[in-house]
A = this chain, B = another copy of it.
Amino acid sequence: MSGSLVVVGTGPGKAELMTPATLAALSRATDLVGYGPYLDRIPARGDQCRHASDNRVELDRARLALSLAAAGRQVAVVSGGDPGVFAMAAAVFEAVETGDPAWRSLDIRVEPGVTAMLAAAAEVGAPLGSDFCAISLSDNLKAWTTVERRLKAAAEADFVIALYNPASKARPHQLGQAFELLRKLKAAETPVLFVRAAGTAEAEVVTTTLGAADPSRADMRTLVIVGASTTRQVGRWIYTPRSERGAPS
């Protein structure tokens, strides 16, 4: 049997948010490759090899997975969330582009999943109800000036903004810098949401405003959403009306 590679996402955390298609792809795999905590979400099975790694070596992990598939194994590369959003799918295709030409004829597929911003939005209402963008604040792979340019464009065009990777131990200051930039362009009362561990049993939501937002509330498990000018609170929910004129009467 020839090898194959499927890139999957476990969703935000709870088993009930992993799709049946992803579960089926995992059950067909002989080898699971991924960041340790994501592999830990999948029940162990004696006949499956696990190749766990830390979260800093995405390209190496992708190359290992491709080598295993080229050797005839049925490989699943495991991300959290959706594998195509700030996760492993792009790393796999980068490894294909720059690696063994034989990898281009491998059977490679991607299974979509529930990405963190959708789980975070569902915890609080419907903050992504209008046009929105997703920006990773990590500058491991891009210049900080690029992040600033995108934040500025998103603010000026009044997108709702979902911020992935808002903070890590190595990057404690970037979310504060992002808020500083946004405060010059958006109203102080703009809703800001810190959603930690969205889509898990430990989900925590902090609702605040751009003027008051404390960047130290974010850690690696937090997704931050900055509202558009129309984003508002009703009861205990936050939502963005579909209409740019705000809520209908």
Binding site for B on A (CB under 8 A): 7, 11-12, 14-21, 24, 58-59, 82-86, 89-94, 96-98, 104-105, 108-115, 118-119, 121-123, 125-136, 141-143, 146, 149-150, 152-154, 156-159, 199, 232, 234-235, 237, 239-244, 247-249
Contacts and interface: CB of A to CB of B under 8 A. Distances in A.
B122 A84 contact: yes
B89 A126 contact: yes
A159 B11 CA distance: 24
Contacts of A156: 153
Given A18-B19, A146-B244, A90 B129 contact: yes
Given A21-B14, A157-B149, A242 B126 contact: no
Contact of A125 (B105, B110, B122, B131): B110
Contacts of A150: 131, 157-159
Contacts of A243: 141-142
A114 B18 CA distance: 10
B135 A134 contact: no
Contacts of A111: 122
A133 B122 CA distance: 18
15 contacts: A11-B19, A16-B24, A17-B112, A84-B121, A86-B242, A90-B130, A90-B240, A93-B125, A94-B247, A98-B249, A115-B118, A131-B134, A141-B243, A141-B244, A142-B244
Contacts of A59: 248
Given A15-B20, A84-B128, A153-B157, A241 B113 contact: no
Given A11-B19, A98-B249, A149-B157, A112 B114 contact: yes
Contact of A133 (B12, B91, B154, B244): B154
Contact of A112 (B15, B122, B248): B122
Nearest to A126: B89
B84 A114 contact: no
Contacts of A17: 19-21, 112
A133 B133 CA distance: 4
A70 to B, nearest CB: 14
A181 to B, nearest CB: 13
Nearest to A93: B239
A128 B15 contact: no
